[in-house]
Structure 1
Amino acid sequence: MPAHRFTRILLPTGIAALLVLAGCSSEADETTTPDAAVPAVDFSSELSHLHGLHVGDDGTVLAGTHTGLFAIDASGSTSRVGASDDDFMGLTGVPNTDTVFASGHPGASSSAANPLGLRSSTDGGTSWVDRSLAGKVDFHTLTTDGRVLVGFDGTDGLLVSTDGGTTWAPGARLVAAGLAITNSGVWAVTPAGLEHSNTGARAFSPVPGAPRLVMIAGAGDALWGIDEDGYAWRSREGQDWQKRSRVGTVEALTAANYDTAYAATSQSLYTLN
């Protein structure tokens, strides 16, 4: 079966506005018949403006929101991680680790610069340190593999760091609704469709046959995406796209590996496999 009811947040190993994309015909593999919809686990309380998801070292799913970072357990209960109530407009991390990066704006109890620039955490968001660009940048979307970070702040192009977010350089001049890093490079969801870079996000080229995605996530050699109609897709490095189950309109997506990803609204979490 391409999808199952969400029964746990911890993996067995311990684990946005929608862009109307310009027409690129899809040659993706649709031999897998998707279910009508993926059942979800509903949250015990609604999360405010869900901006991003991350899978931590022990498999816990973390959600970056308008009022801080929250952990989601198997029953749908949500609990604040750390003391920060900052608006994590951008949230990313190294999949299946406790290394997390965030951007956004200070919360009501914070005296931090506005915007936050880039912050980092090595304990799953319990504590944060200012990394760079404080008072200068609010990344709307971020992606990382731990060394390289690529971000888009809603202006006229990408920013790229190759030293874990300490220093930055201009990347390609494009608008990115979503970003992901896999073993083969950087991926961007743009108004023209899915694009790929093997030059460290300095230049991108279209991905032939890709579905019309509105968000994307990567882990290792795995890509997961959600298309305009709310269907999940997965691929190894942009090849042999498989259409999975329908989740509808979601606000965030993260990938644990090729076998598992998570998508969420402010009220529910879906598991994709």
Structure 2
Amino acid sequence: MAVRTRKARLGRGTGWLGAVVVFAFVVGACSDGGGEGHSHDAGEGGSVSLAHIHGLGVNPADDTLYAGSHHGVFRITGDGAPEQIAGLTRDFMGFTVVGEDHFLGSGHAGPEEHDQPGNLGLIESTDAGQTWTPLSLSGEVDFHAMEYKHDRVYGWDSQTGQLMVSKDKKSWDSRTQVGLADIAVSPNDAEEILATTRDGVARSTDGGREFSVVDGSPVLILLDWPSSDRLVGVDPEGAVHVSDDSGGTWTMRDTVSASPQAITTHGEDEIYIATDTAIYHSDDNGESFTVFQQL
């Protein structure tokens, strides 16, 4: 399906992302589709360090922050070093928390997982990342942007640039092909989706079959839409933007360091943003940020 703007069509696939270097952390890193070719660097003493964060989420079971990263899933309390879950070094290009100890992911097999396909498709954990079960699209798809709302999984496949939707985590409906960095789904309407594109925030009201750029919207790379009156985005320079009218208008708040990689919200006012150097936290809806975890 066509993706419409008032001035020009949005870029399809992933080619446009290379023009904006900072987007590489969010979209392009490790998108070659091979499991064995990925580098998983160890930190001091052979331990695996948290790096290249691709997804953040707060686990309702313990109100603790979890990150899906190039080196696996980590539990992050802000006190001491992040804890790699189950010693599993796997490249989680897609990661989202959907309930108590319930995570969904996608990406690539780890360096020792010779029995796993390069592209993991949709995988699921119901024990806070201790174990993972393949659900669908194994060996076929590498989701980078992922959302779970209205009992649906929304995923953007980096291999094809296709937006895909599933109501049962097994069968999938392919929607439009579009170049994007992140997606957010309306808390009120399963058919309303926002996408961050090179031309600004684009909106779909038909479940991702067509998108149109919102007039006057900022160019963002990350989005989170926790409630009907709260939408949070981050631009390539790390400036935080908030909207209380579903993305019609935006207000700029504080700025974190460059190279933002992932975002999540928690409660009414909390925001976590991962960059290439630290995870930042705000408890005033983006008015100010402090370092939660140095990386």
2:241 to 200, 210, 233: 233
What does residue 62 of structure 1 align with? 66
1:239 positional shift: 3.9
- Match 1:160 to one of 157, 160, 165: 165
Change (3 A) 1:203 1:257: farther
The aligned counterpart of 2:257 is 248
CA distance in 2, matches of 1:217, 1:157: 20
Residue ranges of structure 2 left out of the alignment (5+ in a row) = 1-15, 21-46, 286-295
Q: Which has the higher contact order (CA 8 A, sep 6+)?
A: 1
| 1:102 pairs with 2:105 | yes
Give the match for residue 41 of structure 1: none
Residue type of the alignment partner of 2:199:
A
Measure how far apart 1:93 and its partner are. 2.6
Q: Offset at 1:197?
A: 1.8
Within a 5 Å distance, the mapping from 1:8-87 to structure 2 comes to: 20=20, 46-57=49-60, 58-87=62-91
Q: d(CA) in 1 for partners of 2:194 and 2:18?
A: 17
* 1:45/1:267 contact within 8 Å kept: no
Gaps of 5+ in 1: 1-15, 21-43
Report the CA distance between 1:50 and its aligned residue. Answer: 1.7
SS in 1 for 2:92: strand
State the match for 1:133 in structure 2.
Answer: 137
> Partners in 2 of 1:265 and 1:97 — Cα distance?
26
Of residues 205, 209, 217 in structure 2, which corresponds to 1:198? 205
Deviation at 1:159, TM superposition (A): 1.3
Matched, 1:207 2:214: yes
Letter aligned with residue 243 of structure 2: S
1:167-186 alignment, distance < 5 Å: 167-183=171-187, 184=189, 185-186=192-193
Shift of residue 266, structure 1, vs aligned partner: 4.4
From the superposition, tell whether residues 206 and 200 of structure 1 become closer, same or farther in structure 2 (CA, over 3 Å): same
Q: Quick check: 2:234–2:241 contact (8 Å CA) kept in 1?
A: yes
If the length of structure 2 is used for normalisation, what is the TM-score? 0.72
Cα distance between partner residues in 2 of 1:92 and 1:175: 21
Per-residue CA distance 1:128-154 (angstroms, 9 max, x = gap): 111100011111221221622221222
CA 1:177–1:186 in structure 2 vs 1: closer, same or farther (change >3 Å)?
A: same
The aligned counterpart of 1:29 is none
Q: Determine if the alignment matches structure 1 residue 144 to structure 2 residue 148.
A: yes
CA distance in 2, matches of 1:246, 1:127: 36
CA drift of 1:46 comes to: 4.6
How many residues get paired? 233
Report the counterpart of residue 12 of structure 1 in structure 2: none
Q: Structure 1 residues 197 and 218, CA, compared in 2 at 3 Å: closer, same or farther?
A: same
CA distance in structure 2 between the aligned counterparts of 1:19 and 1:70, rounded to whole angstroms:
30
Q: Distance in 1 between matches of 2:224 and 2:18?
A: 15
- Residue 188 of structure 1 aligns with which residue? 195
Q: Which amino acid aligns with 2:253?
A: R
Alignment check: 8 A CA contact 2:17 2:179 kept: no
Q: Which amino acid aligns with 1:161?
A: S
Q: Deviations over 1:71-124 (max 9, x none)?
A: 111325200123422111111233x64321111111023222221111012232
Partners in 2 of 1:225 and 1:257 — Cα distance? Answer: 16
Distance 1:257 1:18, change over 3 A: farther
2:224 matches 1:217: yes
Q: Kindly indicate whether the alpha-carbon contact (under 8 Å) linking 1:46 and 1:266 is maintained by their aligned counterparts in 2.
A: no
Deviation of the 1:19 alpha carbon: 6.6
Match of 1:268 among 269, 278, 283: 278
Q: For 1:67 and 1:240, how far apart are their aligned partners in 2?
A: 37
Give, as a single letter, the amino acid of the residue that structure 2 aligns with 1:226: V
